Amino acid sequence: MTTVTERPAATDPAPPRRPTRNLRRREENRTGVALVSPTLLIVLFVVVLPILWTVMLAFQNVRLVDIQSQGLWGNWTLQNLERVFGSPGFWSSLWTTLVYTIGSTLGSIVVGLVAALALRKPFRGRALIRGAMLLPYVAPVVAVAFVWQVLLSPDLGVVNHWGTEWLGWDRPIAFLTQRSYEVLGVPVPMALFTVIAFETWRYFPFAFLFLIARMQAVPAVLEEAAVVDGTTPWQRFRFILLPQLLPVVALLCVLRFIFTFNKFDDVYLLTGGGAGTDVVAVRVYRFLTARFDVGLASAQAVVLAVVLIVLLGLYFKFFGRKVQEEQS
């Protein structure tokens, strides 16, 4: 039936079936719109409108108490943005966010890739180990953040206990509360480093899942041929496997970057934003709940989103094309 209706109209001088086709088209269109509209409404009311409102609030001088009495159109001002850019904490916080995001994104993808390579070939117990490896990703963030806190605690944590006992540490290291720590004379941003490690630990399974799924789709013939040619395992990885994985790696980079850049709960639960881990998302929360300064919090959130959009734009401008070339 479809083959008949979809025959090009030009060959048929007076297509008799056109009215029915149009009817079906219209019916399909109507059903489609009807089926999507519940989703659309929810997304519109709970996501799109709030975002637009945040943008408006960013240009108004409002506190939570005023908002009940004040209408939608308050006094417009650039004061919030001036305060955001003018406060010394903002730039360092943005910098922290960037370091945290890039570190965690790279960390989780590299570890995920290493894990996927190690588990690529089948062996006894692989399913079990694969399942274990997904634990950090599945478990609730509150629970895992608390376990890390206890593990790394200077007085009763097992890490510090072993470190001082077996690894010759002079004194326990306050992993989550110390801003900077000297390792062989070089200052290391300790707390920030720990949160990056946590984020890497929690999200490498995500990269692992995507990479191993892609690896399974790489035709075995390619590598078998390369083995016959006497290539080393490293060469096979570098010249055969890696090029096949690049599109997925690029996708993971974008996804993980976006998610980590906006991340609130992990850092908030681990350090509360102290000791040099004051990422912008945590600052927004603090402005909102500690000072009830809706305008300033909104301005801060909008700036965060704009920075993210600009960075993504740059990424797609420079790498988007490259990735497509690799793919074709």
Partner 1 sequence: MTRVMFQIRFFGIMRWVVIAVLVVATVFPFYYMLLLSVKPIDELLLDPGRIWVSVSEFSVDSYRSVLTSVENGGQGFPRMLRNSAVVSIGAMLLTLLVAIPGAYAVSRLRFTGSRKVGALFLGVYLFPATLLAVPLFVMFAKVGLQGSLVGLIIVYIAQTVPVAIYMLRSYFSTVPVSIEEAAALDGCSRFDILRRIVLPLAAPSVMATALYVFMIAWNEFLFALLFLAAEPDHWTVSLGLQQLANGVEVPKTVLMAGSVVLTLPVVLMFYGAERMLTEGLTSGADKS
Instruction: Write each residue from 126 to 165 as x if it is in contact with partner 1 (CB under 8 A), else as -, in one continuous string.
Output: ---x-xxxxxx-xxxxxxx-xxx-xx-x-xxxx--xx--x
Interaction of residue 320 with partner 1, rule CB under 8 A: no
- Choose between 189 and 205: whose C-beta lies nearer to partner 1: 205
Least CB distance from residue 21 to partner 1, whole Å? 13
CA-CA distance, 212 to 245, in Å (whole number)? 10
- Choose between 14 and 167: whose C-beta lies nearer to partner 1: 167
Interaction of residue 47 with partner 1, rule CB under 8 A: yes
Member of 201, 226, 240, 319 binding partner 1 (CB under 8 A): 201
Interaction of residue 310 with partner 1, rule CB under 8 A: no
- Choose between 3 and 13: whose C-beta lies nearer to partner 1: 3
Stretch 19-38 residues interacting with partner 1 (CB under 8 A):
25, 28-33, 35-36, 38
- Choose between 46 and 186: whose C-beta lies nearer to partner 1: 46
- State the number of binding residues for partner 1 (CB under 8 A): 97
Instruction: Write each residue from 254 to 293 as x if it is in contact with partner 1 (CB under 8 A), else as -, in one continuous string.
Output: ----x--xx-xx---x-----------x--xx--xx----
Member of 109, 191, 267, 301 binding partner 1 (CB under 8 A): 301
Least CB distance from residue 232 to partner 1, whole Å? 4
- Choose between 2 and 328: whose C-beta lies nearer to partner 1: 2
